[in-house]
């Protein structure tokens, strides 16, 4: 029973540490956070986040259930702190996917381009907003520019 309680408290602590706010990351000058899982007396790494000095995530690793590396993702940001590039690598450090995001003058996400391992455009999302700045539609296009879907967002107000 003590072990179960200790494990629960430990996991709550670890997961809360792993999800520290950007403000806390910066304030305490945290360089990285990681999660370790202990089951049946065996401790394995579940993942790790590395931070820039401004508190933004620069790299995130995710591990398989056996603790081996599953994927690694790197991030780049603009001066406003918005993600502009997200690059994903597999366990052998081979590029698997790259997302490039652009923003309009109001700081709203305008386009998100998704590239494959050969850096070929696979799909592109276009975001449309109303005059209040609410997202009203996301159009998705294939690599050739043909629209393949549209998702509309409808709001109800009090």
pLDDT digits (tens, 9 = 90+) for 23-70: 999 999 999 999 999 999 999 999 999 999 999 999 999 999 999 999
Question: What pLDDT does 15 receive?
Answer: 44
Pairwise pLDDT comparison (12 vs 144), residue with the higher score: 144
- At residue 87, does pLDDT exceed 60? yes
Fold of 2-152: Lipocalin (2.40.128)
For the whole model, what pTM was predicted? 0.82
**Residue 19 has what pLDDT?**
66
**Which value, to the nearest 10 degrees, does the dihedral of the CA atoms of residues 118, 120, 125, 126 take?**
140
Segment 70-75 shows an average pLDDT of 99
Mean pLDDT, the chain, rounded, equals 91
């Amino acid at each position: 029973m003590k072990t179960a309680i200790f494990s629960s408290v430990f996991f709550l602590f670890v997961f809360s540490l792993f999800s520290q706010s950007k403000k806390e990351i910066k304030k305490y000058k945290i360089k990285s956070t990681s999660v370790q899982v202990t089951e049946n007396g065996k401790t394995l790494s579940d993942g790790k986040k590395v931070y820039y000095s401004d508190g933004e995530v620069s790299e995130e690793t995710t591990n398989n259930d056996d603790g081996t590396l599953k994927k690694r993702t790197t991030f780049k940001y603009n001066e406003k702190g918005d993600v502009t590039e997200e690059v994903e690598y597999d366990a052998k450090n081979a590029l698997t996917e790259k997302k490039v995001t652009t923003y309009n003058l109001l700081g709203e996400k305008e386009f998100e381009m998704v590239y494959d391992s050969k850096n070929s455009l696979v799909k592109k999302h276009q975001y449309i907003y109303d005059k209040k700045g609410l997202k009203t539609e996301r159009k998705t296009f294939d690599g050739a520019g043909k629209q393949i879907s549209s998702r509309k967002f409808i709001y109800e107000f009090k």
